[in-house]
Structure 1
Amino acid sequence: MRTEIKTAIIIAIVVSVGIGGIGYYFTTLDKPKVVTQVPTNNNKQGSTNVDSSASSTKTTQIDESQYPIAPDLTGISGYVNTTPENLKAAMKDKVVLYDFWTYSCINCIRTFPYLKAWNEKYSDKGLLIIGVHSPEFEFEKDINNVKMAVAKYGLQYPVVLDNDHATWNAFGNRYWPAEYLADSTGHIRHTHFGEGDYNETEKAIQQLLDERSQRLGLGINVDQSLVNIKEHQFANQQTPELYFGYSFVTGRSFIGNSEGFKPEETVSYSLPSDLQQDHFYLEGQWQNLADSMKLVSQSGKIVLPYFAKDVHIVAANKADLHILLDGNPISASDAGADVQNGTVHVSENRLYNLVSSSTAGSHTLTITAQSGFQIYTFTFG
């Protein structure tokens, strides 16, 4: 190859590399990196303390710019166990676990033992749990009902009422329950939707508390053991959640009566001869409401062939419900926590446990009720 050609090629390569380097430099200026020095925990699971000498000498770099900042709590209509001023002060430099829940949700209720245990174990180490109560039904917007639920379940951490789902939407949330775990600089580092994976969430809490201790120079040792709580066991199959409100049933209508849903009308329902599993059937006059059905006639029935271990209803207004299982008065071994001598006394707007069998199976549940009884949903476990 001729010398002048070689020279031209070399110059072209040098120019290309120079232009690329300058372009990369200016590109990096548009993407600032926030890097935090955090401890690497070398302790095995189950150890009691973090070795403070080891964590002070060995650190790992965390690029926080890849994690979103937790949105502000917005549109909050009420506060339980706190005030706006106290909550704002409490959040400063804390690892914050945002728990989206609603008090009539059985899946949310089953997470409470873990949340309470984490609050007791880690609150003095820098963890702040905030219950973001985002209601599914209208009665769950009442702060007195939320206070009743907070007291009933022994929740001692702050709870805020997100009645219009403003904070729910700010997080882009779509689930009950949902956990968003933010580090002490406000970056969301861990999320989990639904029940389960409690060990993974707790390990994430421990990691972020260790990072916080290192960042603030606190020297706090975080217990690396995990809370020991028996997790709810789901059946391999079960009936899906069944809604009674006409605005909730688009694409998932499970009413078995031929009369179907008739929005804002009072409908006379009669039981057909053939019943299909995973559908509910009504007898009597029922008012069709957006989120529920209300019994108008003096008495009425709900019949449900289902497959599950546990059966719950969300119900309102005062009523006595008589419970049959497979055509017989429900036995003590199958009766849920809210059943007394075959009867459920509905006195509060909340979730009621009707059936709690030892194993999942196919059964037919019959509920006989009186005028005024209002039902929102069947849920199963």
Structure 2
Amino acid sequence: MKIDPDSAGIAPPENEPPLNSATAQSGKLLSPDQHLLLITAGDWEDFIKEWAQFQKTKYHLVDRLGGANDYGIDVAGFVTDKGFDGEWDNYQCKFYTGAPLAPNTAIPEIGKLIWHAYDGKISLPRKYYFFAPKDCGPSLKKLLLNSSDLKDKVLEKWDDWCATEITSKQTIELSGEFAKFIDEVDFSIFQYKPRHEVIEDHRKTPYYIIRFGGGLPQRPAAKEPSAEPLKDESRYISQLYEAYSDKENVVITAGNIASYSKLEAHYGRQREAFFHAESLKSFARDSVPDGTFKSLQSEIYSGVIDTCDDEHKHGAARMKAVIDRASAIQLTENGLIQVTKVQDRHGICHQLANEDELTWVPKDD
């Protein structure tokens, strides 16, 4: 019996999109959620450091305290400069392997923190969040969503899970004054932070793209230049006036540039370009790792410096040649390329002029 190869066997997948260059290079990207399910202990440590950068926007101080003698604290967010004497939150985010976080792992951590608060080493936090790469399991979530049930479970399992786990120096008995203390603890402070919320926090850091990919967020519109130049604009604007003066053989200043309509229009466009580049710099600070924008500036500088050093009729011609060259450079490596506009390239030239990295009218001209 002959088998028709076109009608037998496993059918090809349906609705596959055409191959694009990104997929050809890297294959299909894992979602951030899938990524965290597969993350290693070392990568989890790096991920927590990255995630903590967003927490720094919410607290006076964020510090990693996990390790030996950590009092049951992993990452602490202090609301004020008073440390444990003021309000603070605890994030328990150790790398728990295997299954999702379960009560027999979480409750000893709760017990440790409560004991050290009773012992006067720390104060009880305002909130205490559990999260882990594989999230909290259903049984732990149910306890954390019902503070009275959580308290009952801690008391029930104290001897089994907590008494000998808090410190190697002694067994912590649930009795006497300590029993009274734990009875007064508000167990509603203990909560869980779902993995998707942790990812959303991480999305607000400059490290999200380099870890998870998926493209840069939408870039906000650049601010319009202020009516009067800002202090931070002084040097590149001085260089503009020097270039105009060199071209016209007359001193051009803010007081008389209106008499030169083309120069005035050009001056306005250069300020707009500078503000574009400044907005890209701000966007980079919030969206990509440190050094990414500086690397873009360096690449443009390398592409235009020979043009800047060439012979030119006057400073304005030199400036135009440099800006034209910046527009033509093939930029392919920097992570900001997909959101970089022509105005940004022009503006980066003025940023470089603002730092005297580029000079339109050299002193020996």
Instruction: Identify the structure with the greater helix proportion.
Output: 2
Same-fold status (TM-score > 0.5): no
Over alpha carbons, which structure has the higher Rg?
2
Instruction: Name the TM-score, length of structure 2 as normaliser.
Output: 0.21
Instruction: Name the TM-score, length of structure 1 as normaliser.
Output: 0.21
